[in-house]
Every structure is written in C-alpha cells, then in structure tokens.
Amino acid sequence: MGRYYSLTLAALLILPCASLQSAQETQEYFEPGIELPDAEGRELILRACTRCHTLEGVPAYSKYWGFERWLPMVENMIEHGSKLNEAEKIVVTKYLATYFGTDSDE
C-alpha cells in the first residue's frame, strides 16, 4: 500500500504542475491583442498551429481572406508537418475564415 500511495501522491502533485506549464507555454503563442474566439476549431489551432509558430500574423488577414484563400494556407501548413486530418483541416479553415477572414456573419 505504501508504494501505491506514493505513486498516487506523486501523480497528484505533478499533474497540476504539468497543466500549469502547458498553459504558460500556450500563452507564449499569443501576441498582445490577439484573441481566439471560443468556438469549434480553437483547440485545433492551439494544438496544430502553435507548435511551430506564433499567431501574430493571423490578424493581418482579418476581413481579407475567405475560406477559399485560407484552405491552401492550411494545406501548406499540413505539408510542413501540422497534424490535422481531413475533417480537422476543414474545421480549422472555417474557423480562420469566420473569425480572421471574410466569412463572418457581421
């Protein structure tokens, strides 16, 4: 029982620290003033896009690119190692076109 207790205690102490570090690492990818709306695709962008680069260039396309322009960009990122399957690729592209493009409902 002592070993099980020790392993459980260690897990309880380490996991919150790992979550905190992960949150801190994620924050490094946000430039001042850049916010990702909480919608379908946000977590995919955080997982797939910010592994290699920040998001500082994304706002430059606000009201400029639609789905048809974002899609080749997302496909290019996949060719360079971003881990998105076909369905995720469409979700990310729709998210970018809606929140950082011309496809918003505004």
Q: Give the domain CATH number at 51.
A: 1.10.760.10
d(CA 51, CA 3): 37
Q: What's the token pair of residue 9?
A: 């205690």
Same domain (yes/no): 70, 90: yes
What is residue 59's DSSP assignment?
Answer: G
Whole-model pTM above 0.85? no
Same domain (yes/no): 72, 41: yes
Distance of CA 60 to the CA centre of its chain: 17
d(CA 29, CA 32): 10
pLDDT tens across the length of the chain (106 residues): 455 443 333 333 344 434 334 444 444 555 556 788 999 999 999 999 888 888 888 888 878 899 999 999 999 999 999 999 999 999 999 999 999 999 876 5
